């Protein structure tokens, strides 16, 4: 599904922040991505979401060499990826319900075909009573859950999440982890970037550990 071969990344003329990354993300797999602050987790997620290109090495995504992709081809591939950004990136003029439903609307599905699905997911992430609120009035934890619901609603082939439990209490973090596990069981490959050791200890999964720009893999 995703293959990295000797990938390096630098910003401008700065030092390499990711070095010699060689690994694969297999279909239907689940992995945590961890490492100290500044180790390059967000940068690696950006490479996986095709919002950054590597400065060296080869990345193959869904069978395509990303270096050769046009803008349109990137947009098409991204529809197969769900992402939870660290800063959520909800659309402030749309309600929570509309934000979460957006990926399905973009696919051209009529609202009556997905309304119940969206409401069920909003209830699952404990936002049932906030679904008509606009993002600016949501708390940090509520925004985070809305961003997670939006990322998973269309059952993407690959889910990328940057610190998805950073703003919620432990019981809710556990519930969100269950959501990611269920999604993985239904076929999605999941990559969760996190510092949360307690969260990782709750699920026996592969760990990708970044340290000084290099990746160590614990299967």
Ligand X SMILES: Nc1ncnc2c1ncn2[C@@H]1O[C@H](COP(=O)(O)OP(=O)(O)OP(=O)(O)O)[C@@H](O)[C@H]1O
In the bound complex, what is the minimum distance in angstroms from residue 197's beta carbon to ligand X? 13
Contacts with ligand X in 156-185 (CB under 6 A)? none
Q: Which stretch binds ligand X (CB under 6 A): 23-31, 33-41, 58-66, 100-108?
A: 33-41
Q: Looking at beta carbons only, is 14 or 108 nearer to ligand X?
A: 14
In the bound complex, what is the minimum distance in angstroms from residue 112's beta carbon to ligand X? 40
Q: Which stretch binds ligand X (CB under 6 A): 32-40, 77-85, 115-123, 129-137?
A: 32-40
Strand partners, 217: 208
Q: Looking at beta carbons only, is 21 or 39 nearer to ligand X?
A: 39
43 binds ligand X (CB under 6 A): yes
Identify whether the C-beta of residue 151 lies closer than 8 Å to the C-beta of residue 180. no
Q: Looking at beta carbons only, is 46 or 130 nearer to ligand X?
A: 46
Please list, residue by residue across 100-112, b when 16 or more beta carbons sit within 10 angstroms of its beta carbon and e when fewer do. Answer: bbbbbeeeeeeee
Name which position in 7, 32, 41, 121 contacts ligand X (CB under 6 A): 41
Distance from C-alpha of 193 to C-alpha of 148, rounded to nearest angstrom: 13
Q: Looking at beta carbons only, is 14 or 110 nearer to ligand X?
A: 14
In the bound complex, what is the minimum distance in angstroms from residue 216's beta carbon to ligand X? 14
37 binds ligand X (CB under 6 A): yes
User: Considering CB under 6 A, how many residues would be counted as binding ligand X?
Assistant: 11
Which tokens go with 199?
Answer: 């969260």
218 binds ligand X (CB under 6 A): no
143 binds ligand X (CB under 6 A): no
Q: What is the binding site for ligand X (CB under 6 A)?
A: 11, 14, 17, 35, 37-43
């Amino acid at each position: 599904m995703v293959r990295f071969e000797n990938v390096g990344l630098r910003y401008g003329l700065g030092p390499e922040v990711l070095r010699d990354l060689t690994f694969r993300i297999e279909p239907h797999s689940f992995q945590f991505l961890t490492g100290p602050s500044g180790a390059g987790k967000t940068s690696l997620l950006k490479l996986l979401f095709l919002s950054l290109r590597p400065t060296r090495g080869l990345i193959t995504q869904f069978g395509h060499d990303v270096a050769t992709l046009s803008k349109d081809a990137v947009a098409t591939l991204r529809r197969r990826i769900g992402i939870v950004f660290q800063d959520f990136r909800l659309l402030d003029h749309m309600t929570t319900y509309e934000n979460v439903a957006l990926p399905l609307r973009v696919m051209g599905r009529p609202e009556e075909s997905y309304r119940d699905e969206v409401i069920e997911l909003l209830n699952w992430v404990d936002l049932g009573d906030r679904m008509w609120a606009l993002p600016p009035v949501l708390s940090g934890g509520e925004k985070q859950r809305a961003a997670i619901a939006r990322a998973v609603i269309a059952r993407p082939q690959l889910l990328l999440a940057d610190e998805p439990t950073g703003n919620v209490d432990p019981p809710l973090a556990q519930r969100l982890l269950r959501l990611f596990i269920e999604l993985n069981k239904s076929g999605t490959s999941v990559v969760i970037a996190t510092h949360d050791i307690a969260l990782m200890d709750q699920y026996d999964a592969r760990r990708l550990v970044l340290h000084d720009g290099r990746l160590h893999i614990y299967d």
